[in-house]
Chains A and B, each alone.
Chain A
Amino acid sequence: MKTDAVRGHLDGLLLSVLESGPLHGYAIIAAVQERSGGVLELRKGTIYPALNRLERIGLLSSAWESVGERRRRCYELTDAGRRSLATERTRWRAFTAAIGSVLEPAPAPGHAT
């Protein structure tokens, strides 16, 4: 799926993969791709500014951790982030239900009363 199609849902995707616990940037990218079965294409480099934005508006918190010689920034959902994820899920379910009901084949005209 094209990167543009993902753009509007990026926040929800990032919040969702962090629901189970803290992850660093690359692990977040890998989790999104794995959970989508490789269908969602992310422009990997743009994930980092997106994570920074989510932290700025208080949906994520981050901390630097040392792993051997490397330092990684790990992100975690805040309480506001969990609430935002729940809202995002509700909206998405309502949206897909509405689109699904339109896309489903309409009943044959002969059956109409």
Chain B
Amino acid sequence: MKAPEIPADDPIEAHLADLTATLHGPARLKTQMVDELREGLLDTARELSPDAEPDRDAARQAIRQFGPVAELAPSFQRELTITQARHTARTVMLIIPCLLVCWYLVELSTRAAGHRLPDPLQVVVAHLGGLAALTALLAAVSLSVTGTLARRLPLPQQLPLVVAWTGTTAAVALGLSALTLITAAVLATNWPLTATACLITIVFHARIAASARACRHCARLPVTAP
């Protein structure tokens, strides 16, 4: 997509373009925060300008009052990083229980048909399921700590990184589970059901992996304490 053209003589738009290029995180929140900042800068420039439309000097003065990109970016990035961590945590927390139910139904269906998955596969699936459940639990805790609990508890600086690696662990567990289910599908007589479970696992793995990757990226960026 072609980037919107910034008028060369508009200091506010140039300033916002610099800030936007520096920030990483959920696109919607980023746009909202930059739009809000634009409104504030325009209001300030209008107040400082003797004319109805703010001139460039007034725009530059407004930018100085709001602070340079280097000073603003860490506080904006902190919110974006936490919001990305919350997205990742929510994704893990919602997907993993659905998937565990899905696997359980496959297991029940296989038993009902009078078959059993080979013991080694059952052990692997049980361990991966346990690991996935643990990541869902961690994700739920992270969601609480970054939400209403943050009124009472200080937010650990490394929490977004913890969420990022929790998501990565969940994605790896799902990837390995998909491989296990592929093997099971080959061995199972009721292979369409197992293959469907495998396909769902792969889709969910991709979803969590993408969110965890974005979270890891955000968590590495410099932020300031509130």
Tell me if A52 and B148 are in contact (CB < 8 A).
no
Q: A residues within 8 A CB of B148?
A: 57-58, 80
Main secondary structure of the interface of A (DSSP, over half): helix
Tell me if B82 and A56 are in contact (CB < 8 A).
yes
State the interface size on chain A (CB cutoff 8 A): 25
Write out, one digit per residue, whether chain B residues 44-73 have a CB within 8 A of any chain A CB (1) or not (0). Answer: 100000000000000000000111000110
At the interface, yes or no: B151 with Cβ under 8 Å from chain A?
A: yes
How near does chain A come to B87, taking the closest CB pair, in angstroms? 12
Closest to A27 in B: B43
Q: B residues within 8 A CB of A24?
A: 39
Interchain CB contact (< 8 A) of B36 among A46, A48, A59, A84 = A48
Main secondary structure of the interface of B (DSSP, over half): helix
Tell me if B67 and A45 are in contact (CB < 8 A).
yes
Tell me if B146 and A56 are in contact (CB < 8 A).
yes
Tell me if A49 and B150 are in contact (CB < 8 A).
no
Closest to B69 in A: A45
Q: Find the residue from A45, A73, A84 having the highest chain B CB count within 10 A.
A: A45
Interchain CB contact (< 8 A) of A56 among B36, B37, B76, B147 = B147
Tell me if A44 and B67 are in contact (CB < 8 A).
yes
Tell me if A53 and B79 are in contact (CB < 8 A).
yes
Closest to B38 in A: A70
At the interface, yes or no: B75 with Cβ under 8 Å from chain A?
A: yes
CB interface residues, A 37-62, toward B, < 8 Å: 43-50, 52-53, 56-59
Write out, one digit per residue, whether chain A residues 68-105 have a CB within 8 A of any chain B CB (1) or not (0). Answer: 00111100000010001000000000000000000000
Tell me if A57 and B36 are in contact (CB < 8 A).
no
Tell me if B33 and A44 are in contact (CB < 8 A).
no
Q: Which residues on B are within 8 Å of A, measured CB to CB?
A: 29, 32-33, 35-37, 39-40, 42-44, 65-67, 71-72, 75-76, 78-79, 82-83, 146-148, 150-151, 226
